[in-house]
Structure formats: structure tokens, C-alpha cells
Structure 1
Amino acid sequence: MSTTEATAPEAPDSDEEFQRLGEQLLRTAKSSRARAAVQALVEERTILAVPAVRRALVIDTLDGAQAHFEALSGRQYGLGLDEGQRAFLHLVLSMVGIGITTLASVEDLDDRRLPIMLRAILRLAGNNDIAVGRRL
């Protein structure tokens, strides 16, 4: 099966288009690790909305668009991401076995990204029983 880099649009035209891309990337994920990582990026949204990220991550295959995390890994410092986005991306890449990121880097995540990462870790562990949310 031959793959080539996708020509991702500069920016998703709508929320619907973004959702379609996310669903397609989830559908073509080759492993539970890749599915958990893609789901985290879709939920976080700001990273996947960056055109340079989509150009580095998304490739066209016979099955349609697919996430290619290895390509993204080599370009992560040239994507124009802020520190919070980069910390989140490092953790996502570690979920698919790329890079050496300690779990302690969760302290660099903000209140919005931390629950997303916690849900991703639960998905990775195959646990659907534990809820992640705010304490009352």
C-alpha cells in the first residue's frame, strides 16, 4: 500500500469539516494507542486546527486520510505551537510510543487540556468506568 502526504486545507471550513476529519482519522487509526491519541487531538482541537500540524500529521492512504504520528514527531518544534500545545502534543506522541516524555509533564497542562489527557489515558488503558470531571 502506497502512501503520500495529504494536501490538507489551510484551515477547516467549518466545525462539520473538522468533525469529519476527526472521524476519518479515528476510523483509519491502526491501533488503540493511535485511536486514543487521535481522539485527544480532536478533543483538544487547537493543535489539529493548525495547518502545519495537519500537513505533518495527515497522509492520504487507500483507506482515506490517516494520522502518521512519526512524521509529526520530527516537525514538532517547527509547527508554531505555544508551550501548552507543545506539552500536550508531547504527551500525545508518548501515547503512540514516540519520544521520551515523563508523566510529570502533565503539570504543564492547563485546566482545559488536563481532563482531555486524563480521558485519553483512560481510553489507552481500556477503562470506560472512571469519569473525569470537576469535583464539587
Structure 2
Amino acid sequence: MTHRPVLPGPAGTAPSRNETPLLSDRLTEWARTRGVGERAAVAALIEEGDVLARGDVRDLLVVENRAFVFCDWSRFEARYRCSLVLDEGEDAFLTLVLATAFPRLVPLWKVEVLGERRLGVVLRALACLGGPPPSPWEPGHDVRGYGDRPGRGRRERVVVPGPR
């Protein structure tokens, strides 16, 4: 099975007609037809980059040919701990990504070994599960600083008095 690189080439270069699109682009396209959890999990894998760049991870997780590509989450979950050599951070990251794709109980102590970069990726993926952020124009939302109110699109400055 041949895999295309996850990361795009130099900016401004278009793929030739005979060239297969990047794996990240193909996975993103596939994920658009899936549920919010799978979309968030694919986005996290692509954003993090290092884990998906590993051939052994891709071979176990991604099923692809010229016609299609998809993540086989159940096969991956069943085999990744016994088939892959992972450090603590990679294991924690993949455990949380799997829990994003298909909700399950995950011990929160896993976040302790993620590191700041991977923690940010996981938190963004989890935020996707909550849906889009509320619109400032929805009823009950604080709209100060929006529209035709004083401030014309800027947040009002709040001055907090210091200690006396």
C-alpha cells in the first residue's frame, strides 16, 4: 500500500493530473460525510501530524486505494496497543483521538503525558464535539459591543479598580 505524504508541498504548486491528492486532503474529504466525532478525530490526526506520518500507524488505521480512503477505527482500536510501539504521549493521544471518533470512557490522567502541543490539538477536537460556538446574535447572548450598540463592533473596555 502506497501512502502520499500527509503534509502539502510548497505553496502555489498544483498537483499534476496523474498525481493522487494528499492523504490529508483525501481523509478530510472522507470525514466530511461522517459524524462530528470522526471529523474531529481526523482533524486532530492531521493537525498533530507526527503520529499520522508514521507508516505503521497509517497502515493500521487508514484503508486506501485510488478510489477511496477511510479510517478503520475499530480495526485500529483492536490492534494498536499490541501492534505499535508507542511512547506514553503517542498512546495517550491516540486513545483520546479514538474516544473523540467514538465516545467511550477514557481516564483523564492520559492528558498528563500529552505535552502542550498535543493537548491543544485534543482540546480543539473535543470542542468540536460541543458544536459550533454560539452566535453573538442569539437570544440571551451578551451582545454588548456588537452591531448598532455603543462601541460599533468593538468590545467595551472594562476597568477593574486596583487595591486601595
Shorter-chain TM range is 0.7 to 0.9
Rounded to whole Å, the distance in 1 between the matches of 2:103 and 2:65 is: 21
CA positional deviation for 1:103: 3.0
Q: 1:62 to 1:99 in 2, by over 3 A?
A: farther
CA positional deviation for 1:61: 7.0
Q: TM-score, normalised by structure 1?
A: 0.76
- Residue 46 of structure 1 is matched in structure 2 by 50
Q: Aligned partner of 1:86: which letter?
A: D
- Residue 61 of structure 2 is matched in structure 1 by 57
> What percentage of aligned pairs have identical amino acids?
35
More divergent stretch after superposition (48-57 vs 19-28): 19-28
Q: Is the 8 A contact 1:44 1:116 kept in 2?
A: yes
Rounded to whole Å, the distance in 2 between the matches of 1:97 and 1:68 is: 12
Give the 3-state SS of the residue equivalent to 1:89 in structure 2. Answer: helix
For residues 25-44 of structure 1, give each alpha carbon's deviation from its aligned partner in whole angstroms, at most 9, with x where no partner exists: 12112211111000001111
- Residue 21 of structure 1 is matched in structure 2 by 23
Aligned length: 120
1:126 aligns with 2:131: yes
Q: TM-score, normalised by structure 2?
A: 0.64
More divergent stretch after superposition (106-115 vs 34-43): 106-115
More helix by share: 1
Give the 3-state SS of the residue equivalent to 1:66 in structure 2. Answer: strand
Rounded to whole Å, the distance in 1 between the matches of 2:104 and 2:36 is: 18
Q: Which runs of 5+ in 2 are unaligned?
A: 10-20, 135-164
- Aligned Cα root-mean-square deviation (Å): 2.4
1:34 aligns with 2:38: yes
Q: Is the 8 A contact 1:25 1:66 kept in 2?
A: yes
Q: Is the 8 A contact 1:70 1:98 kept in 2?
A: no
